[in-house]
Amino acid sequence: MKASERKMRPSADTIYNRPFFCHTPPPIAGTSAEKAGQKSAKLCPIGLKSVNLRCTVRQCTVPVRRVPYVSHLFPTFCQHSAPSLIMTRKSFERLFTWISLPLVRHGVFLAAMVVLAITTSAIVGRPNSRQGFFAVQFFVDMYAFCLLLCLLPPRLRSVLKCALYVGAYVLAVVETFLFYRFNLYFSPTMLNLLLETNPNEAGEFLMGCVKSVELWRTLSIYALILLGNVFLARYGYTTWKGVCRALRVHRHWWMQRLGFALRFYLMPTAALGGLTVGLVPWVGEKGKMVNFLRNEHTRDAERVPVHIFYTPFYRLLHAAHFLHIARVETEHLMERMSALRVDSCAATCPNLVVIVGESYNKHHAALYGYDLPTTPHLSRLARRGTLQVFTDVVTPWNVTSQCFKSFLSTHSVDQPGTWADGVLFPTLFRRAGYKVAFATNQFYHSAAQGVIDFNGSFFLNDVRMDSLCFDFRNRFRCHPEGQFTSLLRGYTPGERNLYLLHLYGQHMEYAQRYPKDWKFFSAADIKRPDLSERERAIVADYDNATRYNDEVVARIMAHFRREDALVIYFSDHGEEVYDGDIGIYGRNHMPVPTAQVLRGEYEIPFMMWGSPRFRKRHPEVWARIKAARHRPFSHDDLPHLLMGLAGIATPLYAPQRDLLSPHFRPQRRLVKNDVDYDRVMQRAASPAVGTRQR
């Protein structure tokens, strides 16, 4: 290699000091800029460190001072019309130095945290979607933390890094083990069970963990990550230097150029690109977390999507805060219930049976005019006159947890305050001399509960609340639900009884809600040419589930046919099943529901069945039931209806909210806490309102 060629190659210092975005455009032939460029090319054909040129483009002259000529590194541009916006070399270097500083100083730490988060997420399946998006979010998290470390004193920096290392590895190991061993992850229910565990149980649990294969499987995974982490932190730089010596980087100018470009250009550019892409969504996601931590009611906290808590630490934070506000509400409710008073009880109905369905769109019931025979048993009872069907009943919520709080509490949605400002009506019945049995296929005490199930049952599964409300609880589920009454085998009825039966009903996925041999409808039976074959099959599955639910409810009614019993059936909320033009199945959680959403998800089936003995002994009550079938009602006033049927005298009873009372007055029916159902439906029924006459 000639000496002149070696001189022509730029030094590492020359490459380092060249901003990549300031590049002089090609000079126009015959101009002074071309002559200056030819003169500079004689000095250095590859490019000078800086030259003084005058750029003339389209008769526009802009002086460009000290513009590095580095077209051999990156494509660049020149801002002809705004020279003041061209960043100087020092400010450019300072910016990129700060951008790359967290990666240079704490790159191993950042990489280890990201690998831990991705590994845990892949194992436990949380979040179960958009994992790439949340990986970028976590990178921004750790980049911000590493930038903070750069600003702290060395001693404090070391303490924080060590604490985060230990915490991240411990949480990852614990959650992964829980998932492998029990198919659990950090949740309010799981955390509540851990806090309720006594020292003896904890010791036995730990002894069992040591012997489990899942623990050693978990430890082996994270031990490999830890070994890689320690090796890079301790020997990474030395190993890199050895590799560079072996490749003789110092003898190859292109390797030096590549190394400097990687460190001072590509790395900061990649970091800047990641921050640019992820920063705006990151601010939005962190805003949701902050709003969650500011919530003081479980009603609002449940609305925050769980998937934004995408690491073990965030999931533990979510569980801890949710558990905290749940306990605050429980304590407030306990204070209210300790002061309740029952003056007397006439025991008008000695056996009250309340069946709570699930996700029942009443417009898919033949009982309410659907064109397929989805309710053969209930329709037959209605024709005989033993079943009274109510036509104008709504639910204030389309989420099971909120529905349960609403209809169990004497507080109504249209009243100031929250559900915890009332009392639970099962306690009133127990104080009045009733025995209360609660059988559920959803809210049984289990560590595998999700957030929504926990929110709907944390007060029911509280030991003190359970002892106040119920004499009997089922410990196991029933599947299929055709034998639901088998859950009551351990219950010994008293002279007066209140039964609360909670079904799984038509909860999605619908094909799992009925036996495989219970298939009456197929996609061919759904006369909806606007739907695809798959969508018609989903509707058929829902109709099959509705027909099976009809069988389940009829069997429960038959179970009490020899008793003096009144059976009340209603659903917690409705369901979207491709009705209208919404084009979805499930539920739509829009802040202000439209009339179409209200029709499918907030209008619910509501009916009462009286046994032969009940109709014979209480003809006046049966007559009031018949007369009230078309009254507007919201099921958050259910406690007043039941207290009226039982003849319970208490200051908490409001006869104007009792559907069967002669003093009944229609109340404001609010959905989602502040949307007036009747007003929305009236506006939808009057399309001319708000339009201008031409």
pLDDT of residue 322: 87
In order of 160, 375, 401, 506, 683, the CA distances from 546 in angstroms are 57, 7, 21, 6, 31
Range of weakest confidence among 296-300, 480-484, 550-554: 296-300
Long-range contacts of 149-157 (CB under 8 A, 24+ apart): 149/102, 149/105, 149/106, 150/101, 150/102, 150/105, 150/106
The pLDDT tens digits for 7-36 are: 444 443 443 333 333 333 444 444 444 444
10 Å Cβ neighbour count for 195? 10
**pLDDT (0 to 100) of residue 641:** 97
- Tell whether the model's pLDDT for residue 71 goes beyond 50: no
Two structure tokens written together for 476: 């196991």
Tell whether the torsion through CA atoms of 179, 183, 187 and 192 is positive or negative. Answer: negative
Please state whether the peptide bond connecting residue 196 to the residue before it is cis, i.e. omega within 30 degrees of 0. Answer: no
Q: Which helix (H) or strand (E) holds 394?
A: strand 393-394
Strand-pair partners of 409: 424
Question: Which stretches of 437-575 are DSSP H helices?
Answer: 451-457, 463-469, 533-559
Report the pLDDT value the prediction gives residue 197, as an integer from 0 to 100: 67
Task: Give the model confidence (pLDDT) of 175-212 as tens digits.
Answer: 999 899 888 888 887 787 777 666 776 777 777 788 78
pLDDT score for 244: 72
Sole residue written with tokens 């919520």: 397
Half-sphere exposure of 379 (CA within 13 A, CB side): 14
Question: Residue 177 has what pLDDT?
Answer: 92
Task: Examine the pLDDT at 579 and tell me if it is beyond 80.
Answer: yes
Q: What is the pLDDT of residues 317-345, one digit of tens each?
A: 998 998 888 888 888 888 888 888 898 89
- Nearest Cα residue to 558 out of 488, 609, 522: 609
pLDDT winner (highest mean) among 274-278, 301-305, 348-352, 397-401:
348-352
60 pLDDT band, cuts 50/70/90, is: very low
Kindly report the average pLDDT of the chain as a whole number. Answer: 81
The mean per-residue pLDDT over the stretch 370-374 comes to 96
Please, which pLDDT band fits residue 284 given cuts at 50, 70 and 90? confident
With a cut of 80, say whether residue 277 has pLDDT above it: no
Q: Please tell me the distance from the alpha carbon of residue 84 to that of residue 78, in angstroms, as a whole number.
A: 12
Predicted pLDDT of residue 19:
36
For residues 364 and 240, the model is more confident at 364
Which helix (H) or strand (E) segment holds residue 634: the answer is strand 633-634
Q: Which domains does the chain have, with CATH numbers?
A: 3-87 (no CATH), 93-186+199-278 (no CATH), 349-444+452-590+611-685 (3.40.720.10)
**CB distance 687 to 671 below 8 Å:** no
* 506-543 exposure pattern, b = at least 16 Cβ within 10 A, e = fewer: bbbebeebbeeeeeebebeebeeeebeeebbbbbbbbb
Percent of the chain with pLDDT over 90: 47
Considering just the CA atoms, what is the radius of gyration of the chain in Å? 35
What pTM did the predictor assign? Answer: 0.71
